[in-house]
Structure formats: C-alpha cells, structure tokens
Amino acid sequence: MSLALIDYGAGNLHSVHNALKAAGATDIRVTDDPDVVAKADRIVLPGVGAFAHCMAALSAIEGMIAAMEQRVRVEATPFLGICVGMQLLADKGVEHGSTSGLGWIGGTVRAIPPAPDLKIPHMGWNDVVPGDSAPLIEHGEAYFLHGYHFDAADAADVLATTDHIGTLVAAVGRDNIMGVQFHPEKSQAYGIEFLKRFLGWMP
C-alpha cells in the first residue's frame, strides 16, 4: 500500500513521516509529484503556518490540486489532512484576508474568538471528544497548536470536538475525507493509534 505524503513546503514532514512509519506504513512517498499522488493508495496533507501561505504553496505545484481532486473526490482514495492541511479542506480561510480553500468540506477557517482567560493560540494537550458516528476518532488526549479554527457549515461534518473555553472542532470528515486539527505526530500513543486506524481505513 503506497502512501503519498504531500510536500508543498508547508508541513512538518519529518515528524509526520516518522509517525506514519511507527504506525506501520511501509511505502511512504514524500512527494511534490502529482503523478505519484494520482496513484497513491492513501494521501496525507500536513500543514503548519498561515492558511493563505499554505494554500498558495499547494496551488503553486502545477497539477497537484487536480491530481488530489481526481484521486480523492472522484476515485475515493482515503485522505487525511493534518492541522492546516485539515483547514485547507474548507471553502475559505480569513487569515490575512479571504483566501479560497479546496472546498471539499463546507466551512470557514476563522480566528479563535478571544475570551477572558483564553490563551491563543490553543497550544498543548487537550481532550478529543468524538461524535456518535465518527470513524477512526476515539476519546483521548491529543496535542494541539492553532490560533484559527474550522467553523463547519454542516454540523454533520464535525467528527470530533475539543474544549478550549468553548467548543472547537477537532476533526472533520465526509466519506473518504478526514481532517484533524490536532497533530497525530506530536500526540504520542494516541496519535500513533489514530494513524494505525487511518492506514487500515476502508471507507
């Protein structure tokens, strides 16, 4: 089983690669080649930094988004977005102005609203609370680092939440597409077990 870990200059590739390997992946292809993505059995899109920068970097790779669209949305290959890689699934992000996302899952990525005693960014370990029908997500603690959050258009697409003086989305998904706001590669045993389930996922 081949896994394409997309390299677009905006992800924590080394740590994600090591976590996937620890979870049992044996054919991990760190790649910026759309042809590799078009043939992969699993696709992972990491992401750190600002929404607009990450979307621009992904869009700058000729043919990459088209290959992702074909392989994921048409051919139903299992897909995982991590942190900003999850946020890019939204219709748009409003960090540094409005930027269109992939539009695979309806929603807008917005700044976490300020509140008394609220620390932003949301950083550190926090509970992940899965919804009633969330595939792959189990209750536990994961590591988060983000100042923006996924405001989903349809509550049915929210697979898990976390509490940071208010409810924030921890995971979204639909059919063969999943995104997590937390970092599996920094979440120790919880993250590795999650990635194991993703590697065996047959949506």
The catalytic residue among 146, 149, 164, 183 is 183
Query: Across the beta sheet with 177-180, what order do the strands follow?
Result: 27-31, 2-6, 42-45, 79-82, 177-180, 167-174, 158-163, 122-130, 140-146
User: Is residue 183 annotated as part of the catalytic site, yes or no?
Assistant: yes
Task: Give pTM, 2 decimals.
Answer: 0.96
Catalytic residue (choose from 54, 83, 95, 149)? 83
CATH architecture of 2-199: 3-Layer(aba) Sandwich (3.40)
Angle between helices 13-22 and 188-199 (to 10 degrees): 70
The values of phi and psi at residue 79, to 5°, are -130, 140
**pLDDT value at residue 109:** 98
- Return the structure tokens found at 181: 């706001």
Residue 100, SS3 per DSSP: strand
Closest CA to 128 of 65, 191, 59: 191
Q: List the catalytic residue out of 54, 149, 164, 185.
A: 185
Say if CB 96 and CB 54 are below 8 A apart.
no
pLDDT in tens, the chain (203 residues): 999 999 999 888 999 999 999 999 999 999 999 999 999 999 999 999 999 999 999 999 999 999 999 999 999 999 999 999 999 999 999 988 899 999 999 999 999 988 888 889 999 999 999 998 788 999 999 999 999 999 999 999 999 999 998 899 999 999 999 999 999 999 999 999 999 999 999 99
Rounded CA-CA distance 46/169 in Å is 17
Is there a catalytic annotation at residue 185? yes
What does residue 165 show for φ and ψ, rounded to 5 degrees?
50, 55
Return d(Cα 136, Cα 203) in angstroms, integer: 10
83 is catalytic: yes
So what's the pLDDT on residue 55?
A: 97
pLDDT value, residue 11: 80
Q: Is 33 helix (H, G, I), strand (E, B) or coil?
A: coil
Looking at residue 83, its amino acid is C
- Please give the C-alpha separations between residue 70 and each of 56, 63, 144, 175, 177, in angstroms, as whole numbers: 20, 11, 30, 15, 13
